[in-house]
């Protein structure tokens, strides 16, 4: 009792000092707890400021996006419509040229209709072409259903404009209701027709229905109050969306928007529409070379409508989040002390780390900075096939496959040099020597003082099944689904690789290209399922005949199979080609249409190249040579092997025509000094018509002599002629084809090695009709059209048109024929 009283006395003595100490510490603790609250409030205010700034920036972005979208739409529409108007103008000019050529009834009415219908079909909006004489009467209407009743059109602005001015060029009319098309709203494009003395002979008129143009406008998404208007330079409205018939032909030259549009350099502006009073953002574009312009107008209200909805949502959500943050800050203030203690305990406790790792399906290891394991989780045992205790102390590289050691070593080095995380995939070797793939995420444990890595956390998982699946998918991507052979993509990659290796090591590379004989007849006879089975059988026979691991058998396309033979001589390639051919024949698959054997056979083309011998030689030349050899094998009787003599193959020479001396004598009648300048204008007109009507950049009229082909008229060509032995026209002259069409010369064995094809830019498309001498019946040359890109083959109508134009060229050449006395 005495001791208790003594202790109480001591406490009473120090009580004032303890109270002062407690009073001085408590405010510091309260300040430490309030500081996060103040910071939180400051953060909330900052969030609000950032939110307002972001919304204002989004408002500016909405206007910028609308400006860009409007500019892009106006540019696209201007280019499309400007191109279409130029196409209409070109069509009208072509019709005018045709009418000038038709003067004197040199062209029949039927052929004239064909030429004009070609022009109508070449444009997207053009509805019809009419010819009006100088009295305003309709002399021709391309519409089949046009009424036959006469119609006086002298009151139309498109007629009066050309009647009063000879230099007007293309004229765009105001919208009008057509008297010959059921009162439909129509816009006219017209050009003047003149007589040889320059007097007014009428007009050629192209009309488009306004509904077509209106449909294009209405497809554009301009918002609920947007508009789009097509105007003449004088402010006359030609078309507008939203559509209102009262606005067609309306004069807007006094409108503020039109005056702004006419100011130099102004393409975008804001103005109030005089039509409906809506404030809009206008983007206007003037048509190139045509007195038209278009404006795209977005309502200012529509531009910001999406932004207003977004601002309302974002602002409301942000205010709710800031309010929730304030509530959480108050709760944080109450719990801060306890949470700080708990967090410090968690950081200093190894128990939490072990709890996480021991309940994870991934293997977790802790390593020192050198890569030696300090701890491994139980899940690591299933990955490494070793007890966790045995793994502790082993270096990370001890279990890595030798092929992947550099991958792991480099990852550890990167962590030492400053990287904090990295992810790698590599193989590990199990105790039974089996290898499995693992994916490992490595994270550096940094020293808080030095900032250097003092340890590594490695998280591993077994990805062997995923890697196997990726390998199977990669194999499927390189395999033909029907035959099981490698596909075209795998062949192209292998050819490029082997070509580079052969050039590097100065070794030959060979190629076999084989094609199933008369495969189309097989499909027609037995059906396509049997055809697929036939291809699988042929593929199996070819693959069985090729034994070297480096050789590649692939499906090249259709019924063609290719065999790539690295480091193989020409003799070896020919021997293997014969073995492949015999192996397919030995299958004995019935093919009654493949006479005389009655079984499935193949034709094989073989080619060998030495890439190191010619730095300019490319792998495509080897394929072309094999393809030319295959072509030779098929045309020599099939079921045989043909070997290319060279790579690339030589250009095929034109065959010598029958009765060549007679033909050359007929050509000589059109050559010589006596015809200089005679009929040239008519020939040039036919050549221009051929290029325009058949849509090619190049057209020519040729005379094929003994050694030289002369272009007596040409469009789009600089050279006056070519040697006969490389001319396409030489092939046509020596054949009996009515029309020679080569859709892609690079893929045609007759022309693939032709210098005119191999040059840059080379010929790809050719179509020609022969010029037949009316006196001797001999082929003098051709009227041909040419393009430098592949094109589809001509349809029957185009073939007939080319033949008719060739007949016109022969008629024009009659003016160049020498008198009989000149040839004696």
pLDDT digit string, tens, across residues 375-434: 888 877 778 878 877 888 888 888 888 888 888 888 888 888 888 888 888 888 888 888
User: Band of the pLDDT at 506, cuts 50, 70, 90?
Assistant: very high
Q: How many CA atoms does the CB half-sphere of 73 hold within 13 Å? A: 23
Confirm or reject CATH 3.30.70.270 for domain 482-643, answering yes or no. Answer: yes
Q: Quick one: pLDDT at residue 1?
A: 38
- Of all residues in the chain, what percent carry a pLDDT higher than 70? 86
Strands 708-715 and 698-704: antiparallel
Separation CA 510–CA 495 (nearest Å): 10
Separation CA 589–CA 599 (nearest Å): 5
* Other C-beta atoms lying within 10 Å of the C-beta of residue 110: 8
User: Band of the pLDDT at 350, cuts 50, 70, 90?
Assistant: low
The token duo for 519 is: 């495969």
pLDDT tens for each residue of 604-662: 999 999 999 888 788 888 988 898 889 889 888 899 999 988 887 666 677 778 788 88
The token duo for 231 is: 């105007």
Pair 667, 704: CB distance under 8 Å: yes
Q: Is the pTM of this model over 0.75?
A: no
Q: Quick one: pLDDT at residue 800?
A: 93
Instruction: Spell out the CATH class of 39-328.
Output: alpha beta
User: Band of the pLDDT at 25, cuts 50, 70, 90?
Assistant: very low
Mean pLDDT of the residues in the chain: 82
Kindly state which CATH superfamily the domain 352-469 is placed in: PAS domain (3.30.450.20)
User: Band of the pLDDT at 713, cuts 50, 70, 90?
Assistant: very high
Separation CA 459–CA 406 (nearest Å): 19
Q: Read off φ and ψ for residue 543, nearest 5 degrees.
A: -60, -35
pLDDT tens for each residue of 742-778: 999 887 878 877 878 877 678 999 999 999 998 889 9
User: Band of the pLDDT at 49, cuts 50, 70, 90?
Assistant: confident
In three-state secondary structure terms, 285 is strand
In three-state secondary structure terms, 652 is coil
Q: Residue 214: name the closest of 242, 246, 174 by CA.
A: 242
Q: Residue 419: name the closest of 394, 441, 444 by CA.
A: 444
Separation CA 789–CA 793 (nearest Å): 13
Q: Is the pLDDT of residue 102 over 60?
A: no
pLDDT tens for each residue of 549-606: 899 999 998 899 999 999 999 999 999 999 999 999 999 999 999 989 899 999 999 9
Q: Quick one: pLDDT at residue 26?
A: 47
CA distances in angstroms from 507 to 568, 608, 613, 621, listed in the order given: 8, 11, 10, 17
CA distances in angstroms from 774 to 663, 721, 729, 809, 814, listed in the order given: 12, 24, 19, 12, 9
For 368-397, b where at least 16 C-beta lie within 10 A, e where not — what string? ebebebebbbebbbebbeeebeebeebebe
| Fold: same for 39-328 and 660-823 | yes
User: Band of the pLDDT at 347, cuts 50, 70, 90?
Assistant: low
Fold exhibited by the domain 660-823: Beta-Lactamase (3.30.450)
Give the residue, 169 or 117, on which the prediction is more confident: 169
Q: Is the pLDDT of residue 824 over 50?
A: no
Q: Is the pLDDT of residue 289 over 50?
A: yes
Q: Quick one: pLDDT at residue 627?
A: 87
User: Band of the pLDDT at 21, cuts 50, 70, 90?
Assistant: very low
Q: Quick one: pLDDT at residue 823?
A: 38
Q: Is the pLDDT of residue 792 over 90?
A: yes
Pair 71, 342: CB distance under 8 Å: no
Span 48-75, average pLDDT:
84
Q: Quick one: pLDDT at residue 34?
A: 63
User: Band of the pLDDT at 144, cuts 50, 70, 90?
Assistant: low
pLDDT tens for each residue of 153-208: 888 888 888 888 888 888 998 898 888 777 889 998 998 888 888 888 889 988 88
User: Band of the pLDDT at 507, cuts 50, 70, 90?
Assistant: very high
Q: Residue 581: name the closest of 541, 540, 608, 549 by CA.
A: 541
Separation CA 356–CA 625 (nearest Å): 67
Q: Is the pLDDT of residue 673 over 80?
A: no
Q: Which residues pair with 188 in a beta bridge?
A: 207
- Of all residues in the chain, what percent carry a pLDDT higher than 90? 26
Give the residue, 504 or 339, on which the prediction is more confident: 504
pLDDT tens for each residue of 623-633: 888 988 898 89
User: What are the residue boundaries of the structural domains of the chain, listed by start?
Assistant: 39-328, 352-469, 482-643, 660-823
């Amino acid at each position: 009792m005495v001791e208790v009283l003594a202790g109480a006395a001591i406490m009473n003595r120090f009580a004032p000092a303890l109270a002062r100490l407690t009073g001085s510490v408590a405010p510091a603790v309260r300040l430490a707890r309030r500081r996060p609250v103040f910071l939180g409030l400051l953060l909330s205010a900052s969030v609000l400021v950032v939110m307002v700034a972001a919304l204002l920036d989004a408002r500016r972005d909405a206007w910028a996006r609308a400006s860009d979208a409007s500019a892009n739409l106006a540019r696209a529409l201007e280019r499309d419509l400007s191109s279409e108007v130029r196409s209409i103008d070109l069509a009208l000019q072509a019709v005018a040229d045709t009418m000038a050529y038709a003067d004197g009834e040199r062209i029949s009415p039927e052929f004239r209709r064909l030429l004009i219908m070609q022009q109508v079909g070449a444009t997207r909006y053009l509805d019809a072409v009419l010819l009006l004489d100088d009295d305003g009467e309709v002399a021709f209407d391309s519409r089949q259903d046009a009424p036959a009743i006469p119609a006086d059109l002298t009151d139309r602005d498109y007629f009066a404009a050309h009647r009063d001015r000879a230099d007007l060029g293309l004229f765009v009319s105001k919208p009008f209701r057509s008297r010959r098309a059921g009162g439909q709203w129509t816009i006219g494009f017209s050009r003047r027709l003149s007589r040889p003395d320059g007097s007014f002979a009428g007009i050629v008129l192209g009309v488009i229905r306004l509904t077509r143009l209106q449909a294009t406008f209405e497809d554009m998404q301009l918002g609920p109050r947007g508009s789009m208007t097509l105007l003449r330079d004088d402010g006359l409205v030609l078309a507008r969306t939203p559509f209102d018939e009262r606005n067609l032909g309306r004069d807007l030259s006094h409108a503020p928007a039109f005056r702004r549009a006419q100011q130099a350099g102004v393409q975008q502006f804001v103005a109030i529409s005089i039509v409906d009073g809506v404030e809009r953002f206008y983007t206007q574009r003037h048509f190139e070379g045509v007195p038209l312009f278009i404006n795209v107008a977005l309502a200012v209200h529509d531009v910001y409508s999406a932004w207003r909805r977004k601002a309302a949502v974002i602002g409301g959500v942000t205010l709710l989040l800031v309010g929730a943050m304030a509530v959480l800050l108050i709760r944080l203030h109450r719990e801060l002390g306890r949470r700080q203690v708990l967090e410090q305990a968690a950081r200093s406790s190894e128990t939490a780390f072990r709890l996480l790792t021991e309940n994870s399906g991934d293997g977790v290891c802790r390593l020192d900075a050198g890569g030696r394991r300090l701890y491994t989780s139980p899940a690591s045992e299933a990955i490494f096939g070793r007890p966790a205790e045995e793994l502790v102390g082993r270096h990370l590289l001890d279990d890595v496959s030798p092929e992947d050691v550099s991958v792991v070593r480099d990852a550890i080095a990167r962590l030492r040099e400053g990287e904090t995380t990295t992810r790698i995939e590599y193989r590990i070797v199990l105790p039974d020597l089996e290898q499995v793939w693992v994916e490992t995420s490595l994270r550096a444990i940094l020293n808080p003082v030095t900032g250097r890595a003092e340890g590594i956390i490695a998280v591993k998982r077994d990805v062997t099944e995923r890697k196997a699946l990726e390998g199977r998918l990669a194999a499927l991507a390189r395999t033909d689904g029907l035959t099981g052979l490698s596909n075209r993509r795998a062949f192209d990659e292998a050819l490029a690789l082997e070509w580079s290796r052969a050039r590097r090591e100065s070794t030959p590379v060979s190629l076999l290209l084989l094609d199933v004989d008369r495969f189309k007849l097989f499909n027609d006879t037995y059906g396509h399922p049997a055809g697929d089975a036939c291809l699988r059988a042929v593929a199996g026979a070819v693959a069985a005949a090729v034994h070297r691991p480096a050789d590649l058998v692939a499906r090249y396309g259709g019924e063609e199979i290719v065999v790539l033979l690295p480091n193989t001589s020409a003799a070896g390639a020919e021997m293997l080609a014969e073995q492949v051919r015999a192996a397919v024949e030995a299958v004995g698959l019935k093919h009654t249409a493949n006479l005389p054997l009655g079984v499935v056979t193949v034709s094989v083309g073989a080619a060998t190249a030495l890439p190191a011998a010619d730095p300019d030689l490319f792998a495509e030349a080897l394929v072309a040579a094999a393809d030319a050899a295959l072509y030779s094998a098929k045309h020599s009787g099939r079921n045989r092997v043909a070997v290319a003599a060279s790579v690339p193959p030589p250009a095929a020479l034109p065959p010598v025509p029958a009765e060549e001396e007679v033909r050359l004598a007929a050509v000589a009648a059109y050559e010589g000094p006596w015809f200089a300048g005679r009929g040239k204008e008519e020939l040039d007109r036919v050549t221009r018509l051929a290029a325009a009507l058949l849509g090619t950049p190049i057209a020519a009229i040729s005379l094929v002599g003994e050694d030289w082909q002369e272009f007596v008229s040409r469009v789009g060509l600089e050279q006056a002629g070519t040697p006969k032995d490389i001319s396409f026209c030489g092939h046509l002259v020596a054949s009996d084809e009515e029309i020679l069409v080569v859709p892609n010369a690079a893929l045609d064995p007759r022309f693939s090695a032709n210098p005119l094809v191999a040059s840059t830019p080379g010929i790809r498309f050719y179509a020609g009709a022969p010029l037949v001498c009316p006196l001797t019946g001999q082929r003098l040359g051709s009227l041909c059209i040419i393009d430098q890109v592949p094109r589809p083959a001509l349809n029957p109508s185009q073939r007939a048109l080319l033949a008719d134009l060739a007949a016109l060229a022969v008629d024009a050449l009659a003016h160049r024929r020498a008198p009989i006395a000149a040839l004696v």
